[in-house]
């Protein structure tokens, strides 16, 4: 197989595994144990100098690419799927929103929650949780119109960008109350390919 995915069970890496499954592309999965620092080996750093997952190697094209949403865009371009021309601008906006607003807020909250600081002021945690709820509240508001997917009636890479991150955040205070978003998460992961992408990294 010419496609090689280097990943661990993180929401960012789930974007890549779910994308490969949704695109129906055969790939070889290389699971890295982050707790053992396998993402910092010389072999992996030659693929992604940042030492972060996911990373994708396309042997046939001579391409090495990291950053989960960049991988989504690369695969959409490679296959000509899940990035409809009529919705392209909106889908790209939503992919960027998931990469920056949503993942940024979630990363800050989880980083604070998992930190070993001797003093973690509760108001800081509450403020960070509020940032997550505000970011995902935008998606909840859009989904309130009854659309099945974040860009409308059609499943796109915007859903692959958003759903794994939203799933990771679903129990953060303020997010559980976002009923349209919670239903959306369940709906997206009821798709066989999305479920298979999750299971691959479990």
Q: Are residues 77 and 89 in the same domain?
A: no
What's the CATH code of the domain at 104? 1.20.1050.10
Q: What is the mean pLDDT of the chain?
A: 96
| DSSP 8-state code for residue 139 | H
Which pLDDT does position 120 carry in this prediction?
Answer: 80
Q: Are residues 50 and 143 in the same domain?
A: no
Q: Are residues 71 and 161 in the same domain?
A: no
Q: Are residues 45 and 140 in the same domain?
A: no
Q: Are residues 113 and 183 in the same domain?
A: yes
Enter the tokens of residue 100.
């920056």
Q: pLDDT tens digits, residue range 78-128?
A: 999 999 999 999 999 999 999 999 999 999 999 998 887 777 888 898 999
User: What percentage of residues in the chain have a pLDDT greater than 90?
Assistant: 93
Count of domains observed in the chain: 2
Q: Rounded CA gap, 10 and 97, in Å?
A: 18
Domain range spanning residue 27?
Answer: 3-81+195-201
What's the CATH code of the domain at 11? 3.40.30.10
Q: pLDDT tens digits, residue range 31-89?
A: 999 999 999 999 999 999 999 999 999 999 999 999 999 999 999 999 999 999 999 99
Res 189 pLDDT > 80: yes
Q: Are residues 120 and 50 in the same domain?
A: no
């Amino acid at each position: 197989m010419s496609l090689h995915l280097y990943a661990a069970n993180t929401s960012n890496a789930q974007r890549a595994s779910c994308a490969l499954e949704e695109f129906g592309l055969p790939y070889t999965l290389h699971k890295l144990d982050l707790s053992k620092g396998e993402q910092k080996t010389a072999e992996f750093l030659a693929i992604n100098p940042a030492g972060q997952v996911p990373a994708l190697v396309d042997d046939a094209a001579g391409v090495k690419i990291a950053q989960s949403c960049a991988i989504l865009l690369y695969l959409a371009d490679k296959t000509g799927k899940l990035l409809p021309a009529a919705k392209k601008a909106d889908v790209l906006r939503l992919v960027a929103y998931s990469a920056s607003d949503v993942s940024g807020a979630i990363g800050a909250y989880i980083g604070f929650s998992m930190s070993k600081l001797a003093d973690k002021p509760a108001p800081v945690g509450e403020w960070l949780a509020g940032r997550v709820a505000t970011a995902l509240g935008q998606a909840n508001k859009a989904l309130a119109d009854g659309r099945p997917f974040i860009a409308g009636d059609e499943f796109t890479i915007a859903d692959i960008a958003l759903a794994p991150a939203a799933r990771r955040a679903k129990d953060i205070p303020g997010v559980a109350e976002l009923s349209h978003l919670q239903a959306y998460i369940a709906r997206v992961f009821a798709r066989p390919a999305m479920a298979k992408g999750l299971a691959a990294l479990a």
